[in-house]
Amino acid sequence: MADISRNSISQPQFQLYDMETWERAEYFHYYMDLIKTRYNLNVNIDITGFMQVLKEKNLKFFPSMLYIVMRTVNTFREFRTCLDREGRPGYWNFCNPSYTVFHKDTHTFSDIWSPYSEDFHTFSETVVADIARYGDVKGVKGRGDRPENFVPVSSLPWLSFTGYGCDTYSDSRMILPIILFGKYFEQNGRMLLPFSISVNHATADGYHSSLFLNTIQKNCDEFAGE
């Protein structure tokens, strides 16, 4: 496995955009106020080498992939952009994952969260410990006191999907991305992972989302030392 650890991150800080100089100010207002738009992109991520490392190192799939996702989120400002309590746009210096755990006895889920660390092993061990501690807590919110700097991530391990979309029927002020990955499968000797991101167009265009998805692939490859 390649060395993808980094130093500890700082405390969460929210930086407002200067609407006079922010290059996306016009686009933000256009897609927030005039034509409210979210879009979804779905791709297959090649995790062949990634899975081999997990097997060799006896690492768990979910916390490892969650690390890849959050490392990528925290690379791009566009995917840490949100609104403050007064509705003003800005961005966090980093985000934590808010993710779902499944209850086999009731076939329901709960949201829990874990603090992000740039160090892979620290992050993975924290996620494993948090799932053990909060994984049996029932209700929509399995762990309280979720920090404001979060990005929602879900897994759908029962289905190798080819498309995914999500929407709300109210005027949501939630403009952070929503990320989902599914059941990995083998095709032509490669292991592929269905991966989807739902993006508010006010924060990012197709160019930025393409960079994000390509970096997911790059980070998987680096994890495998490829």
Q: Would you call 179 helix, strand, or coil by DSSP? A: strand
- Residue 75 host element (H or E): none
Return the pLDDT at 133.
Answer: 98
Rounded to whole angstroms, what are the CA distances from 82 to 86, 130, 194, 199?
Answer: 11, 26, 26, 12
201 is catalytic: yes
- The catalytic position among 103, 107, 201, 208 is 201
Burial class, 161, CB count within 10 angstroms (exposed 0-12 / middle 13-18 / buried 19+)? middle
At the fourth CATH level, the homologous superfamily of domain 43-190+210-223 is: Chloramphenicol acetyltransferase-like domain (3.30.559.10)
Whether 16 contacts 88, CB under 8 Å: yes
pTM score, two decimals? Answer: 0.93
In which residue ranges of the chain is pLDDT below 70? 1-9, 167-171, 226
Return the pLDDT at 5.
Answer: 39
Return the pLDDT at 168.
Answer: 65
Return the pLDDT at 171.
Answer: 67
Q: How far apart are CA 159 and CA 193, in angstroms?
A: 10
Return the pLDDT at 166.
Answer: 75
Q: How far apart are CA 183 and CA 66, in angstroms?
A: 14
Give the model confidence (pLDDT) of 1-49 as tens digits: 433 334 446 799 999 999 999 999 999 999 999 999 999 999 999 999 9
Q: How far apart are CA 208 and CA 80, in angstroms?
A: 12
Show me where the domains of the chain are located: 43-190+210-223
Whether 106 contacts 153, CB under 8 Å: no
